[in-house]
Amino acid sequence: MARIACILVPDLPVAAACRVDPDLVRRPLVLVEATGPHARVVAAGRAARARGVQPGRHTVAQARALAADLVVRARDAAAERSAARALAEVAASLASRVETAADGAVYLDVDGATHLVASERALATALVARATRVGLEARVGVAAGMTVARLAAEHGDGTEVVPAGVEQGFLAPLPLACLGPPPEIASTLQRWGVHRLGDLARLPAAEVATRLGPAGAALVRAARGIDERPLAPEPLPAAVEEALALEYALDNLEPLLFVLRGLVERALARLGLAGIGCARIDLVLGLDDHGRDARTLSLGAPTRDVKAILGCLRTDLEAHPPCAAVVHVALTAVPDAVRAVQLGLFVPPGPAPERLATTLARLAALCGPARVGAPAVVDSHRPGVACSVPFTPSPAATPERPPADGVCRLVVRALRPPRPVEVFSERGAPVFVRGDGLGGRVVGAAGPWRIVAEWWSEDGIARDYYDLELTDGGVYRCYQERGGWYLDGVYD
């Protein structure tokens, strides 16, 4: 027989708001979908309910009369979506077949999950603990079907397990209202004297269907613990998104980073459930001028270091600040497996992969991604051509060759782009050079060496190269091409 667990967060809109701002937990919080004192309260926190505030019945003004220190917040659909996804990821961390209901409750097939945890009770406890890690206070029920599991989560002790075969006994004392019957059916059942699920389960389903229609028959099946349909698992997207609508526009970097810290912490906690790290951050900022600022931050190696990612975000935002104040933030963490590094016994340890990832991202934000990497030799006859490739050192590698002793090579410093110079010649040999920042009589010369390359293309080169030592102290690499003289390197 299948075993299903249901994990749900009572009053998800309030829980999502408290997840974004944990200070709200102890304060009388109400959520509204409109503005002004006549806006209807759509959800209320525990403290507000304790003062008598009733969602759907009271307006903000009425609620404020009951609780003078009432905190009123707009309902945030983005934060609710993030919370619901986080709950689904909690379930997915312990089961492969997961279904998310429309109201945010999550069902998971826990049949055979006892190889991960000792018992179903321990499984429920683990789910509650993992939900706490992502900032949600969840309740869990485990039973043979989705309906019973849900009712166990709602009406149990928080980690309720209904053993197989005793579902009817668990359901019988529950009030009829816990199935949420339509008002007209509920009043009919009241007239019949049916107050509890046990009373309803004893009625013949066909007779109830004749009198109350298909909805009545469905209620009877639910009261007997029979599901209308089996679990319909759906794959979860790999990327983790955390979003937040701000109450007011942020026009300064520090408060924006404060907001981003919360988003990053929550996103990484979710990735941590699966033991993976973040390889890329996609940040979308909704701007006050109705514009949108989208940016991607690639990390050199997957990481779950909040400080590191915040450092990268800070560098990127400092280098390229948004063009208007920010009113909405959506952060997507694209995951990848955290790299394990095997250090070598006889080679120095290089930078730690996570630190290196952060460092590369910060350097890329500072200098530009194309200006940070490992140098690579280009397969070209054109002197001075350079490119860089992604920097991925292998710390465990052994030295390629034994260190040479006492050999010091003279290298050329390239001038990019080549600098035009004036060269005076006598009998075909350069005798004086004049240019920007240099100039002097030639005291040593070698050349010319002809370099012809890429003659098949339009930008092919045909150059006569010279090495020239001038009286200004420099030894230069010059070339003559199409009647002009250029300096493209300095020996140093």
- The region of 103-111, 193-201, 263-271, 464-472 touching another protein under the rule CB under 8 A is 464-472
Q: Is 310 among the residues that bind another protein (CB under 8 A)? A: no
Q: Would you count residue 3 as binding another protein (CB under 8 A)?
A: no
> For another protein, which residue of 349, 420, 460, 484 counts as binding (CB under 8 A)?
349
Q: Which residue type, as a one-letter code, is found at position 350?
A: G
Q: How many residues bind another protein (CB under 8 A)?
A: 70
CA distance 200 to 366: 69
Distance between first and last Cα of the chain:
79
Max CA separation in the chain (angstroms):
121
Q: Which of 415, 490, 481 is nearest to 450 (CA)?
A: 481
Q: Is 347 in the site for another protein (CB under 8 A)?
A: yes
**Sole binder of another protein in the list 368, 420, 460, 484 (CB under 8 A):** 368
Of the residues 272, 355, 419, 432, which one makes contact with another protein according to CB under 8 A: 355
Select the span of 76-84, 105-113, 247-255, 388-396 touching another protein (CB under 8 A). 388-396
**Selected range binding another protein among 201-209, 267-275, 322-330, 409-417, rule: CB under 8 A:** 409-417
Residue 432 makes contact with another protein by CB under 8 A: no
Helix 214-223 vs helix 183-192: crossing angle, to nearest 10: 70
Tell which one of 96, 187, 296, 394 touches another protein (CB under 8 A).
394
| Radius of gyration of the chain, Cα coordinates, nearest whole angstrom | 35
Residue 408 touches another protein, criterion: CB under 8 A: yes
Which residue in 111, 20, 109, 105 sits closest to 71, CA to CA? 20
- Measured from the CB atom, the residue of 323 and 378 that comes closer to another protein is 378
Give the whole-angstrom CA distance, residue 104 versus residue 16: 11
Q: Quick check: 173 binds another protein (CB under 8 A)?
A: no
φ, ψ of residue 244 to 5 degrees: the values are -160, 130
Query: Rule CB under 8 A: is residue 404 a binding residue for another protein?
Result: yes
Rule CB under 8 A: choose which of 186, 259, 415, 451 binds another protein: 415
Interface residue with another protein among 211, 413, 441, 450 (CB under 8 A) is 413
Residue 444: strand, helix, or coil: strand
CA distance 319 to 371: 15
Cα→Cα distances 26→33, 93, 115, 126, 136, Å: 22, 30, 38, 25, 15
325 binds another protein (CB under 8 A): no
Q: Figure out which of the listed residues 291, 411, 450, 484 binds another protein, where binding follows CB under 8 A.
A: 411
**Among 395, 435, 439, 440, contact with another protein (rule: CB under 8 A):** 395
H/E element, 1 = none
- Helix ranges (H only) for 71-175 are 77-92, 120-133, 146-155, 167-171
Q: What is the DSSP letter of 68?
A: T
Task: Tell me whether residue 254 or residue 400 sits nearer to another protein (CB atom).
Answer: 400
Binding range to another protein, per CB under 8 A, among 128-136, 217-225, 289-297, 385-393 = 385-393
How many CA within 13 A on the CB side of residue 120?
22
Which of 375, 420, 460, 484 is the binder for another protein (CB under 8 A)? 375
Q: Give 71's strand partners.
A: 29
Q: Dihedrals φ, ψ of 176, to 5°?
A: -60, -30
Q: Is 237 in the site for another protein (CB under 8 A)?
A: no
Residue type, 419: R
480 contacts another protein (rule: CB under 8 A) = no
Smallest distance from the beta carbon of 443 to another protein, in angstroms? 8
How far apart (Å, rounded) are the C-alpha atoms in residues 5 and 131?
14
For the chain, how many residues are written?
A: 492
> Residue 298: helix, strand or coil by DSSP?
strand
Residue 13: which residues within 8 A CB-CB, separation 6 or more?
31, 42, 43, 75, 80
Q: How far apart are CA 341 and CA 412, in angstroms?
A: 36
**Smaller CB separation from another protein, 46 or 339:** 339
Residue 426 interacts with another protein (CB under 8 A): yes or no: no
428 binds another protein (CB under 8 A): no
- The residue among 233 and 373 lying less far from another protein, judged by its C-beta, is 373
Query: Is residue 352 involved in binding another protein (CB under 8 A)?
Result: yes
Q: Does 374 bind another protein (CB under 8 A)?
A: yes
User: Least Å distance between CB 269 and another protein?
Assistant: 25
Asked if 321 interacts with another protein (CB under 8 A), we say: no
Stretch that binds another protein, among 98-106, 110-118, 277-285, 347-355 (CB under 8 A): 347-355
Do 56 and 11 meet the contact criterion of CB atoms below 8 Å apart?
A: no
Answer yes or no whether residue 320 interacts with another protein by CB under 8 A. Answer: no
Is 34 a binder of another protein (CB under 8 A)? no
Q: Which spans of this chain sit near another protein (rule: CB under 8 A)?
A: 344, 346-352, 355-356, 358-360, 362-363, 366-368, 371-378, 384, 386-388, 391-395, 397-416, 437, 444-447, 467, 469, 472-475, 489-492
